Structure 1
């Protein structure tokens, strides 16, 4: 048995795993003025230093891999931390207190920390190793997908959970017709109830991504034209790219081989001090099982790292372990494929004797988990103005009144004032960043200390540095516009839609363009557009062609093989074509709307364009606006879009009758 410490008196600390959690541990040791008291070695099996895995999908939008790096190798060196990348630990020798590497080296330790994270689960079916099949976990995985997808048209994602939907969005943004198949009856089955999952599915399919539920893959075969995914209960699905995102499993094999106790469902068992069954070995992050529970979100992993850093600081200073991990919130506020998804409190199924109360308001679904009127959890899809108040009620263990329950059943809200308070007016205890549990009060303290922009607040408190969904709240707090969160090309959509509305409103009060009073007038040559048959036919067919071109937006959303370009580009083209049809309508009719069926056709055409323009304005504002001003646009956009679609259906029939009447009579 070795003595504690190296020849300099520093405690030898070996950290197995170089991810976001282990970096958070090092930051905690440095903040506690204890990092210099340890001789630290960090082992990472990836070829690069730790990086931001939460935002890994940004690689598809052009972000460089190095831009995701949390700290360069020089950061570790400056703190006398030995960083070993591209190397894998093969054994923990607990008797001799050393970690052996696959390449044969041995690292002595006084304390060892397992932060090995998780690995993707690959279903045990044939064909998952053929070309064109990828995992979605590391930077290398995504770079391979991005390179392979060039020139491809179709893709499929195995798994409808958080990571699967993120992968689907990335493939969709690459211009591939994308399918998602999930063996459960709902999307995100671990986080959402059936009603919320159904609302999420509708929003995703409205974008053009096809979702297939209750599909159990039985194998993958390579064909000449791509891949064929076979199912035990459905017809095969063909795609050129397949991404497997069927969940993760704790990487506990190193601990098991060392004889450490593991949880019943995997993960290295730890106590409140995050010690394993060997008091010299600790475990944190996705590989740890606390109270037989494995956390999969980065927020709880950071809390584990903070707790362990405090205890290691105590060891370094020769005092007793002072920190305890007592569980962590799994609340999440996510933006999945452009859709707000909220989970608060206990996950669905984690609490016994709970009832679900679910209601819909303006296309947004909200569900409460109740135990004898005490709110223990909540989930929602879409805008939820009361979200922060609900989160606070869960944290306080609030027991809802019967009046509140009646109001929720009637209006899908618990309090009278449904308009969200500005983040400036939130109480100090309100949580702004769910991932890291950063409160409004803590942000206020940071602002008082000179943090007066979003980036400064993020650096000081960590808020918005994980999933980023609270970044608009930080921007509102410091009155700092945050253009990074706006949807692309929203200005084009807004200008085109506003121009269309202006033209239509002007025509409501305008008189029909008069015909020339004399054949000798120059105007007589112009009004031939509305008198001469050949001119009427020409402008009529041009107008019909423009209308059909505008209709292609619907085809882009519903025909999976039509995968060229981004949806936002198609939507902007649709709005510009809408404006061009109004110009064509003016040239075709001169605002002479006719009578009977001709008048009905003109009225239908103008109504379709007016509702479409209003939908475009709502969609643009939905991308641009934040906070309370954002809610009306979010509420009205899907209503107007559906009305726009329904008003189109009489149009083809009226066009056919109009053409027949012109040629017949």
Structure 2
């Protein structure tokens, strides 16, 4: 007699929920599980990282990872527009707003996060947008056709991305940031000032050290008012001030939460209920949430592996980010705000070229603690690996940096566990194995087989160089 399949219910059909499904299909060698996916949005999972492509003429369907027929082929029960309103842990069921109930043996919560909305008077007016979903991007795109002055509140990665999209649409665009530099969490003052200058040279205006007091207008936004300094006109305002984990369902079900929100998980991505996993932006590991795709994908793989009876664990990810737009190269890794006497620093720069490189090292010069790269970022993976794996520094730490004007990617001195695509966590070894096992012949073949360069695309040049070099050696 065949054993009854275990019911796996996934709440959330975003990037991380989709990756979980892919990985569970891979790890479920004996087809022991039946997957049901409940997605709040009306479209299948899509590439949220590439939302800005919608401003360049791409459509929502261009961003979709897999059409409904893929779910059907994989025997996944996909329910779109299904908003879950309750988790009943004792009955092991979830209920949607339509009253439909779904039983589970294991539940995977992948509800992501929502935009943080600051307490600003007038924020609820017409013309004020957030930037998180295809619907948000479409609203901004539609609004840009009748607007002339856009103001983006928030000078982080997301704020810079949407500001550039507005500029490309011909809007006079101002970025408002309460700190003294853009990307203040990822850069020091020197790197921030260099980025500020590059941004202004592209035609974007900056308002730094600025605290927004209110949004002017009578139902339709007309201006942004500040606690300090004169107001600026705005017929479109976009809020990009961070995210908040969607942990309400877990809270209502009595699951343990992180100190600062998010659903508390262990190294196996299990919550305080042994039948419930949490992955992605909604999850808190060691009281930290991440807000990045790569840790979410790592969590998805760990959860799928656990259900496939494979022992994988999630570890604290090294903070690392790369700016993926504006033809600007900016990267940040690890602890970048440490100064003497806590740490020692090494700086290599050529202001005329717009290049700034900084290493933050332990006082005994044994470990790399963090790094900042502006203008050239080819050393990103080498430095990230040194920080994450706590590798010992060479006797001359400057050897970790490529000479300015000579990108490290051309050297291709890579090991199997070196990460080429940080978003999808594709290693050099993954690429070589895919080429060998699937007889791949081109960079585009490798992209399709491994997902490398499939999100932000910032690693495409390195991927192309790696692929061509490996194929040439075969």
- On whether the aligned pair clears a TM of 0.5, the verdict is yes
Give deviations 1:563-604, integer Å, cap 9, x for gaps: xxxxxxxxxxxxxxxxxxxxxxxxxxxxxxxxxxxxxxxxxx
Q: Which residue of 1 aligns with 2:133?
A: 138
* Distance of aligned partners of 1:289 and 1:235 in 2 relative to their CA distance in 1, 3 Å threshold: same
SS at match of 1:295: coil
Q: Which residue of 1 aligns with 2:197?
A: 202
SS at match of 1:262: coil
Distance 2:275 2:200 in 1: 51
Q: Which residue of 2 aligns with 1:391?
A: 384
TM-score normalized with structure 1 length: 0.66
* Distance of aligned partners of 1:46 and 1:416 in 2 relative to their CA distance in 1, 3 Å threshold: closer
Distance 1:153 1:283 in 2: 42
Q: Which residue of 2 aligns with 1:426?
A: 414
Q: Which residue of 2 aligns with 1:338?
A: 327
Asked if the contact 2:339–2:345 (Cα under 8 Å) also holds between the matched residues in 1, the reply is: no
* Distance of aligned partners of 1:401 and 1:69 in 2 relative to their CA distance in 1, 3 Å threshold: closer
Among 380, 383, 402, the residue aligned to 2:373: 380
1:251-650 aligned within 5 A:
251-314=246-309, 322-346=311-335, 348=337, 353-361=342-350, 362-372=353-363, 373=365, 374-400=367-393, 403-404=396-397, 413=401, 420=408, 422=410, 424-449=412-437, 450-479=439-468
SS at match of 1:208: coil
Q: CA deviation at 1:223?
A: 5.8
Larger RCO (CA under 8 A, 6+ residues apart):
2
* Distance of aligned partners of 1:298 and 1:185 in 2 relative to their CA distance in 1, 3 Å threshold: same
1:47 aligns with 2:35: no
Distance 2:284 2:338 in 1: 18
Q: Which residue of 2 aligns with 1:107?
A: 102
SS at match of 2:287: coil
Asked if the contact 1:26–1:35 (Cα under 8 Å) also holds between the matched residues in 2, the reply is: no
Q: CA deviation at 1:88?
A: 1.1
Give the length in aligned residue pairs: 463
* Distance of aligned partners of 1:441 and 1:346 in 2 relative to their CA distance in 1, 3 Å threshold: farther
Instruction: Considering fraction of residues, name the structure with more helix.
Output: 1
* Distance of aligned partners of 1:419 and 1:68 in 2 relative to their CA distance in 1, 3 Å threshold: closer
Q: CA deviation at 1:297?
A: 1.1
Structure 1 segments of 4+ aligned residues over 4 angstroms from their partners? 223-226, 346-352, 413-419
Distance 1:193 1:443 in 2: 34
Asked if the contact 2:338–2:360 (Cα under 8 Å) also holds between the matched residues in 1, the reply is: no
Asked if the contact 1:92–1:100 (Cα under 8 Å) also holds between the matched residues in 2, the reply is: yes
Distance 2:228 2:283 in 1: 36
Distance 1:204 1:30 in 2: 44
Asked if the contact 2:167–2:204 (Cα under 8 Å) also holds between the matched residues in 1, the reply is: yes
Asked if the contact 1:57–1:167 (Cα under 8 Å) also holds between the matched residues in 2, the reply is: yes
Give the alignment's Cα RMSD to 1 decimal: 2.6
Larger C-alpha radius of gyration, 1 or 2?
1
Unmatched tracts of structure 2, length 5 or more: 470-474
Asked if the contact 2:402–2:408 (Cα under 8 Å) also holds between the matched residues in 1, the reply is: no
* Distance of aligned partners of 1:386 and 1:103 in 2 relative to their CA distance in 1, 3 Å threshold: closer
Distance 2:204 2:390 in 1: 39
Distance 2:410 2:226 in 1: 49
Q: CA deviation at 1:75?
A: 1.2
